[in-house]
């Protein structure tokens, strides 16, 4: 059999190969005990009719078929077909495939189709490109390198396939009906190329049913009905060159998978762009609602803080002795003030106790009157809340004039309008008005109190009220022989973080009978309640938007499954070239992650434009940017897009990786 003598060890050896197919437990034997030896430098034609087992034999030699009995030895070492990694490595390093149907990857250019095989070598990027171009030049295609396969003729496609098969410099080239789809001229040229490969010291095995093709080789093995019934040497094997070239194989780097995935994504750009748009709209909605939530929270905080100082705590008497919420303190306040103001007084001793609490910078005692009257030029105006000015009120709430000094009063906008007119209310600043109310003396008897005051300023806003200074109030009450006991206090806290802690301590202060004596009201707690509602609303809205993300995930899953079925043949080609299951999985998951990433970028662009439009439209109205997207929101959008697209691709990618390479190659 072997021109180099029976004793020389064959490069490739098949021993006792049996293979059957089963259909409903019925056995159909295809190979019935094949023994063959092949050497490098040979161009062997395996000749036989269709259905004789030629392709099955090729798949066993090529390391694609794992289910058979017998042994395959390469260079004297057994190739273990049970070990998938060993077979992947064998296909990468030792075998090059040329198919009758060319099996080129349609979304890659001619050059990229050859580079796919070179990605699994240790050559540098420049050397890979150089080798691919040299091979394409050798097969006469240097002009076509940028074209896609669908722009080539049959003969040109076959030459690309030959260049790809030779790319990683394999020792065995398997050609399955290499000229089956070619005309006479192309057949002649392809056979000359195969002969040249054998001259290079490679082993070329061509499967054919054409005697003409077989006659071009160095040896013909005849296969009929699963057995070898002829092995004829036409001429000696070519001598092996003195210095055979060698390219070191390696597993496919992750970067190569990402590149291929990106090329496929751009090749099917319009279809993918619709999916990206769908996913982007989902992410955009989530981002917008989160941004609105942030903006509304910020706006409310801004509004409340501009009216009340968040570092000030307003303290009232706790008349129940039990623990009271801020809402309960506020609701009982009005009733008790009107019915029994004397019961609300806070003793000097308790004000001192407040001063001694940790993190308290100062305590201002205050007096609040629940009903009063204003007179100006014969016009009268009743009010329901007059209090002494404290640090709890911010200067921001004064829209005209300034905060009150001794002998001065601050009015609300509504009072100023009613004492003058809607048009001229601002002119009230600087005018003198009369203030009168009823208070009580030391014996709890009612006392009329009144005095003239200069208007210092006008306040606006829900929590702003009528105010005079504490010293002015005391002087006014002393003059009328009325009680000057404080009925509230303002506790100023050193920093914002300590406010809640100080408020809790105030709520816990107890009298001699161990009952609670004071109640604290903070801006923070009002804010907290409002913010809870706002964040609840924005979370609900974002969750509704999240449903569209779920739809996007389903779109990606469907697209990936479609992609797997469309690219079944490509998966087979890549596996035949030596890519692992892991590489195939990565190819599909990375393409999906690209879709997710670009969706997130698109969503960020849309949300940026919409944010500018909304903020611009509403700024004139509320003087605040109502949509506020944070860095956290942006990171969340990118992460969620990548995670969703990655998870969506897992099942389709797994399915792709688990496809049988032989079945995948046979797909249409």
Which pLDDT tens digit goes with each residue over 586-631? 999 999 999 999 999 999 999 999 999 999 998 888 888 889 999 9
3-state helix, strand, coil in the chain (%, to 5): 50, 20, 30
Element (H, E) at 329: helix 326-339
Listed residue (180, 325, 204, 253) closest to 580, CA to CA:
253
Spatial distance between the Cα atoms of 46 and 217, rounded to a whole number of angstroms: 10
The pLDDT of residue 319: 82
For residue 656, pLDDT over 70 is answered with: yes
Q: Strand pairing partners for 507?
A: none
Confidence band, pLDDT 50/70/90 cuts, at residue 108:
very high
Listed residue (266, 32, 341, 49) closest to 177, CA to CA:
49
Q: By three-state DSSP, how is residue 449 classified?
A: strand
The pLDDT of residue 2: 45
For residue 3, pLDDT over 70 is answered with: no
The pLDDT of residue 355: 92
Tell me the pLDDT tens digit for each residue of 643-652.
988 988 899 9
Question: Concatenated DSSP letters for 115-156?
Answer: HHHHTTBS--HHHHHHHHHHHHHHTT-TT-TTS-GGGS-HHH
Tell how strand 172-176 and strand 203-208 pair up.
Answer: parallel
Listed residue (7, 90, 32, 254) closest to 661, CA to CA:
90
Percent of the chain residues past pLDDT 70, beyond the cut: 97
Listed residue (128, 157, 129, 131) closest to 144, CA to CA:
157
Tell me the pLDDT tens digit for each residue of 226-271.
899 899 999 999 998 877 677 899 999 999 999 999 999 998 888 8
The pLDDT mean for the chain works out to 88
What's the chain's Rg over C-alpha atoms?
45
Listed residue (34, 39, 40) closest to 19, CA to CA:
34
State the sign of the Cα–Cα–Cα–Cα dihedral 329, 330, 335, 336: positive
State the sign of the Cα–Cα–Cα–Cα dihedral 101, 104, 109, 111: negative
Return all residues near 54 (Cβ < 8 A) that are at least 6 apart.
46, 48, 207, 209, 223
The owner of tokens 């955009």 is 284
Tell me the pLDDT tens digit for each residue of 59-97.
999 999 888 999 999 998 999 888 889 999 999 999 999
Contact present, 401 and 410 (Cβ < 8 Å): yes
Q: Would the pTM count as exceeding 0.85?
A: no
H-state helical runs in 481-522: 499-508
Tell me the pLDDT tens digit for each residue of 432-448.
999 999 998 888 889 99
The pLDDT of residue 602: 94
Return all residues near 230 (Cβ < 8 A) that are at least 6 apart.
220, 221, 222
Give me the count of residues in the chain. Answer: 668
Contact present, 464 and 393 (Cβ < 8 Å): yes
Listed residue (186, 191, 118) closest to 152, CA to CA:
186
User: Tokens for 646?
Assistant: 């990655």
User: Tokens for 101?
Assistant: 């149907």
The pLDDT of residue 8: 60
Three-state DSSP string of 12-32: EEEEEEEEEEEECCEEEEEEE
The pLDDT of residue 325: 76
For residue 485, pLDDT over 70 is answered with: yes
The owner of tokens 């806003």 is 461
Number of other residues whose CB lies within 10 A of the CB of residue 33: 14
Q: By three-state DSSP, how is residue 76 classified?
A: coil
User: Tokens for 106?
Assistant: 């349609």
């Amino acid at each position: 059999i072997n021109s180099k003598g029976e004793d020389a060890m064959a490069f490739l050896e098949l021993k006792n190969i049996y293979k059957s197919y089963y259909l409903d437990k019925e056995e159909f034997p295809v190979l019935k005990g094949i023994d063959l030896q092949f050497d490098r430098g040979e161009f062997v034609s395996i000749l036989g009719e269709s259905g004789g087992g030629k392709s099955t034999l090729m798949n066993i030699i090529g390391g694609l078929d794992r289910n058979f009995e017998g042994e395959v030895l390469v260079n004297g070492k057994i190739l273990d077909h049970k070990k998938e990694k060993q077979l992947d490595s064998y296909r990468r390093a030792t075998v090059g495939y040329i198919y009758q149907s060319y099996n080129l990857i349609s979304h890659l250019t001619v050059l990229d189709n050859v580079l796919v095989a070179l990605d699994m070598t240790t050559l540098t990027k420049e050397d890979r490109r150089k080798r691919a171009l040299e091979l394409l030049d050798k097969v006469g295609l240097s002009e076509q390198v940028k074209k896609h396969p669908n722009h080539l003729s049959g003969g040109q496609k076959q030459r690309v396939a030959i260049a790809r098969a030779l790319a990683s410099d394999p020792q065995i080239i398997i050609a399955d009906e290499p000229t089956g789809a070619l005309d006479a001229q192309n057949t002649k040229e392809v056979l000359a190329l195969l002969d040249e490969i054998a001259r290079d010291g490679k082993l070329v095995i061509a499967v054919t049913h054409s005697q003409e093709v077989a006659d071009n080789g160095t040896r013909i093995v005849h296969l009929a009905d699963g057995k070898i019934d002829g092995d004829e040497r036409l001429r000696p094997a070519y001598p092996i060159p003195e210095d055979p070239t060698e390219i070191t194989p390696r597993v496919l780097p992750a970067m190569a998978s990402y590149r291929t995935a990106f090329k496929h994504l751009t090749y099917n750009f319009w279809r993918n762009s619709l999916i990206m748009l769908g996913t982007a709209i989902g992410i955009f909605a989530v981002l917008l609602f989160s941004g609105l939530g942030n903006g509304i929270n910020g706006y409310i905080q801004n509004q409340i803080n501009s009216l009340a100082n968040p570092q000030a705590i307003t303290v009232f008497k706790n008349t129940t002795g039990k623990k009271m919420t801020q809402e309960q303190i506020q609701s009982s306040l009005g009733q008790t003030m009107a019915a029994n103001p004397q019961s609300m007084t806070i003793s000097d001793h308790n004000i001192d106790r407040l001063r001694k609490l940790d993190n308290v910078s100062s305590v201002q005692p205050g007096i609040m009157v629940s009903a009063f009257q204003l007179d100006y030029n014969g016009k009268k105006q009743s009010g329901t809340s007059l209090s002494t000015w404290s640090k709890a009120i911010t200067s921001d709430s004064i829209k005209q004039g300034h905060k009150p000094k001794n002998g001065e009063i601050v009015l609300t906008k509504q009072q100023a309008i009613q004492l003058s007119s809607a048009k001229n209310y601002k002119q009230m600043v600087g005018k003198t008005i009369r203030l009168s109310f009823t208070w009580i003396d030391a014996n709890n008897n009612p006392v009329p109190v009144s005095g003239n005051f200069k208007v210092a300023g006008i306040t606006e806003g829900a929590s702003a009220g009528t105010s005079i200074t504490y010293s002015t109030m005391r002087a006014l009450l002393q003059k009328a022989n009325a009680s000057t006991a404080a009925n509230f206090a303002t506790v100023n806290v050193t920093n914002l973080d300590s406010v809640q802690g100080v408020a809790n301590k105030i709520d816990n202060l107890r009298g001699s009978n161990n009952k609670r004596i004071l109640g604290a009201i903070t801006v923070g707690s009002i804010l907290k309640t409002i913010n809870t509602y706002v964040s609840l609303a924005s979370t609900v809205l974002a969750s509704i938007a999240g449903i569209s993300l779920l739809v996007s995930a389903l779109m990606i899953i469907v697209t990936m499954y479609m992609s797997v079925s469309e690219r079944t043949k490509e998966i087979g080609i890549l596996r035949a070239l030596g890519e692992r299951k892991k590489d195939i999985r990565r190819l599909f998951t990375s393409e999906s992650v690209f879709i997710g990433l670009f969706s997130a970028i698109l969503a960020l662009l849309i949300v940026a434009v919409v944010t500018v439009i909304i903020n611009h439209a509403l700024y004139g109205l509320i003087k605040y940017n109502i949509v506020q997207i944070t860095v956290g929101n942006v990171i969340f959008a990118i992460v969620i897009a990548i995670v969703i697209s990655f998870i969506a691709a897992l099942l389709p990618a797994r399915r792709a990786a688990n496809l049988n390479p032989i079945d995948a190659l046979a797909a249409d």
